[in-house]
Structure 1
Amino acid sequence: MKKIVSLFILTFLIFSGSLSAQKKGFYENVQKKNINKLLDDFNTLAANADFDKYFDCFAEESTFIGTDATEVWNKKEFKDWAKPFFDKKTTWNFKSLKRNIYFSKDGNYAWFDEILDTQMKICRGSGVVEKIGGKWKVKQYVLSVTVPNEVVDEVVKIKSPIEDALIQKLK
């Protein structure tokens, strides 16, 4: 009888752990769908020059880091910079080709990296999203231009005069 009770308890614990893992996997899949939708909408809203809805994707305290070394903006600064482009309907049109999403242990934060098809050819988007009031919001977004290894020396030659001056200024 003791062996049967022990076997029952062991089976119960294994089954409970399995259900817990399944529940966690289901939760992460749902949250990944929500984050994918946020990021896809984020790109579509920019392409459609929908200023208010685009910036609603950002948390109030957020950062956008652009491709130029000087482009590190809080939400208000980025809005100020972007407003003329949205007003003239000359915004950007990014399409995600591949995206990875990872979660913090508490499930309130996720970070992502993605390969984008853009007017600048392939770029990389990466960032952090936070669940705020039940909705995912962009806390930080980083846009990077990719440089194929075969041409990096040429690119460095082109950008050196500009960036050497910035390096001296930042020292």
Structure 2
Amino acid sequence: MKRFFAAAVLFFGMLGLAQAETDAVLTKQVNTFVDEWHQDAANARMAYFDKIAKDGVYIGTDRSELWRRDEFKAWAKKYFDAKKAWSFKATRRNVYASADGSLIWFDELLDTANMGHCMASGVIRKTAKGFEIVHYQLSVAVPNEVVDGVTQTIQEFEKKASKK
């Protein structure tokens, strides 16, 4: 009985080690995929949109920016045609996955060329063809010490806009 217990502990310990290695492999694959996606935008490559699922959603920083992939592509076309899209560089990313690895979600801290520090989160679906982004939400990272001033500026802007 002791041998069986020891063998079971060893087996399940090795299984846990294999899962940890798989998680590291999956995390590396996801990091590569998302980094390439950001590079596609930085280099104004239309492949950027191919990495978003047909039913994918992109939520930008403006409250009006809730895009389905094809709407987002149409809106962004002028930036990609001008070869002046956006540049995001992840400085931190956390990756999480369902037990079978078919559904992955992540959060990331970004340095951007035009908005400073941003935060984002995304959901990725793993398919037979590879990864695809199902949901991505970008937000400007506002330090708590200045959030009251930012909120006031937004309220003043919206008040003026509503009078037009």
Could you tell me the TM-score, scaled by structure 1's length? Answer: 0.89
Q: Aligned to 1:63, which of 53, 57, 62?
A: 57
Partners of 1:133 and 1:83 in 2: CA distance: 28
Gaps of 5+ in 1: 1-5
The one-character-per-residue Cα deviations of 1:74-99 (angstroms, maximum 9, x if unpaired) are: 11111011111000011001100011
The one-character-per-residue Cα deviations of 1:8-31 (angstroms, maximum 9, x if unpaired) are: 211111111011101111111111
State the partner residue of 1:35. Answer: 30
Gaps of 5+ in 2: none
> Mean Cα displacement is larger for which, 24-33 or 99-108?
99-108
Distance 1:131 1:165, change over 3 A: farther
Partners of 2:124 and 2:160 in 1: CA distance: 34
Deviation at 1:136, TM superposition (A): 1.6
Runs of 4+ more than 3 Å apart:
161-167
Deviation at 1:61, TM superposition (A): 1.2
Deviation at 1:157, TM superposition (A): 1.6
What number of residue pairs does the alignment pair up? 161
Could you tell me the TM-score, scaled by structure 2's length? Answer: 0.92
Q: Aligned to 1:146, which of 133, 141, 145?
A: 141
1:25 equivalent to 2:12? Answer no
Partners of 1:142 and 1:114 in 2: CA distance: 10
1:110 equivalent to 2:104? Answer yes
State the partner residue of 1:131. Answer: 126
Partners of 1:26 and 1:103 in 2: CA distance: 13
Deviation at 1:134, TM superposition (A): 4.9
Which is higher, the Rg of structure 1 or of structure 2? 1
Matched residues, percent identical?
A: 39
Partners of 1:17 and 1:134 in 2: CA distance: 32
Q: Which amino acid aligns with 1:15?
A: L
